[in-house]
Structure 1
Amino acid sequence: MLDIDGVLLDQSFDNLFWGELVPLELSTVQNISIENAKNEIYNTAEKVKGTMPWYELKFWENKYNLDLVNVALNNSAEIAFLPRAEETLKILADLDKRIILMTNCDRRLLNVKASVVPFMKYVDGCVSCVEIGAVKESQDFWGPAFEIFNIDTEKSLFADDNINVVNSAIQAGIFNSFQVLEPTSDGSLINKPNSNFTIKNIGELI
């Protein structure tokens, strides 16, 4: 089981999307300065961080009257695999390993990413927290996710760049859960090791 952003795909796109592109769109729609728009997005994000609204596009679209799918589509050239990610997916698929994607990414944004980067062709299934109705940081996510894909936790491993999600997965019974330390290709973000199982990237799983 794998996370997508920061594990398969370069987290730089999401950082750009939420840090620059969404505020830019908000500044245009509401005719406010980019600085004020960034502050508005940041302040709202701090209030909902780690909860369902944080990940749901419709929350942000309804709150600020934005079309975030269109914003993503207009900047989709920035979406890319992380180094070694596609290579690893190919190897796992050739070894007939079952690959399930567990993501907090909203399915509508995920569809934009999948239209640009062909990661879905290697996997056997994918589920978003929005479809489950609970974020991966919550234990309420894992039971339904395991049931959908008939997951045997003792025979599974999981990789995610978010340490809170890694800890949640361990609590749910996936004891072979790995924290990914390098979620961006340019090194702009390096996660501090906070797990007994850490890898720089998923290529180290092979």
Structure 2
Amino acid sequence: MINWTSLETVFLDMDGTLLDLHFDNHFWLEHLPQRYAEQYDLHPDEAKHQLISMIMAERGTLNWYCTDYWSERLAMDITGLKSEVGNRIGYRPHVANFLQALKKTGLRSVIVTNCHPDPLELKLQCTGLDSFVDCIVSSHQLGKPKEDTAFWQDLQQLAPYRAATTLMVDDSFPVLESARAAGIAQCLGILAPDSTQAARETHPDIPCVHHFDEILSSIHQQRPLPSSG
């Protein structure tokens, strides 16, 4: 599925790949509509309908992910509201073992996320995820989302890499398709990003897994640890 021997760098999405997407789905589909209804004296169903319409109109753009944009657009403190349900932030299964395996075998691991820096900081405080990886890049630092093919060239400024020796892991098929179009040699999709929802259908052209335990053995087989002797 993955040729680990050819790799130097592993780019990793965060939400839905390393962290359970349940937090984000709950926030945008349940918690924010509730707070929005309270602030603007709306029926909960009407509040949810209004929000989803606004959010879907920004799909695929940096605004979709931008806490500053939504805070201004809705006149609400989005990062503060996210912290109200911060107890829902957590890892997906087998993530720690996977990240430790990458580190032990000498592969460089870089989180490449569309998450805005403010909620990113909240998630790092809750999980300590930054201790497992070599670097973290938010697409907001480059002014364009990962869905934009030009993002991958600009990424060289913050996390230089060789496309031929790089793997991108993400739960978003549009992002993986963007990475492939930009020349990233290998891609891997995640089919079960939200622990409370059923797994999605696989991609016809991109290898996929539900959880990282499905590929741990292949890492160890292809990149055995150096002998201590």
Contact 2:150/2:182 (<8 A) preserved: no
Deviation at 1:96, TM superposition (A): 2.6
Aligned to 2:76: 66
1:73 shift after superposition: 1.1
5+ long unaligned stretches in structure 2: 1-10, 217-229
Which of 143, 158, 161 does residue 133 from structure 1 map onto?
Answer: 143
Aligned residue identity for 2:23: F
| 1:108-153 CA distance string (max 9 Å, x none) | 1111111101211011111111111011111121111123211111
1:142-177 CA-to-partner distances (Å, cap 9, x unmatched) read 111123211111111110010000000001111211
What CA RMSD, in Å, does the superposition of the two structures yield over aligned residues?
A: 1.2
2:113 alignment counterpart? 103
Letter in 2 for 1:90: Q
Partner of 1:193: 202
Partner of 1:115: 125
Distance in 2 separating the partners of 1:174 and 1:88: 21
- TM-score in terms of structure 2 length: 0.86
Per the TM alignment, residue 79 of structure 1 is displaced from its structure 2 partner at its CA by 0.5
Q: Matched residue pairs, number?
A: 205
Question: Is it true that 1:45 corresponds to 2:45 in the alignment?
Answer: no
Secondary structure, aligned partner of 1:126:
strand
Output one character per residue of 1:43-85: Cα deviation in whole Å (capped at 9) or x when no partner. 0012111111111011111111111111111111100000001
Choose which of 176, 181, 186 in structure 2 pairs with 1:166: 176
Alpha-carbon contact 1:159-1:202 (below 8 Å) kept: no
Q: Work out which of the residue numbers 31, 35, 39 in structure 2 matches 1:29.
A: 39
Give secondary structure in 2 for the equivalent of 1:177.
strand
Offset, 1:32: 1.4
One-letter amino acid of the counterpart of residue 108, structure 1: D
* Letter of the structure 1 residue corresponding to residue 98 of structure 2: T
* Structure 1 outlier segments of 4+, above 2 Å: 201-206
| Paired letter, 1:118 | G
Q: Quote the Cα distance in structure 2 between the aligned partners of 1:157 and 1:146.
A: 15
Determine which structure has more spread, i.e. the larger CA radius of gyration. 2
TM score, norm. by length of structure 1: 0.95
- 1:189 to 1:45, Cα distance in 2 relative to 1, 3 A: farther
Task: Give the SS at the match of 1:127.
Answer: strand
Secondary structure, in 3 states, of the residue corresponding to 1:196?
Answer: coil
Give 1:79's aligned residue.
Answer: 89
Contact kept, 8 Å, 2:93 with 2:212, in 1: the verdict is: no
**Does the 8 Å CA contact 1:159/1:177 hold for their aligned counterparts?**
yes
- Unaligned 5+ segments in structure 1 are none
Percent identical: 26
Pick closer, same or farther for the CA change 1:189–1:54 going to 2, 3 Å: farther
Residues 179 and 198, structure 1, Cα contact 8 Å, conserved in 2: yes
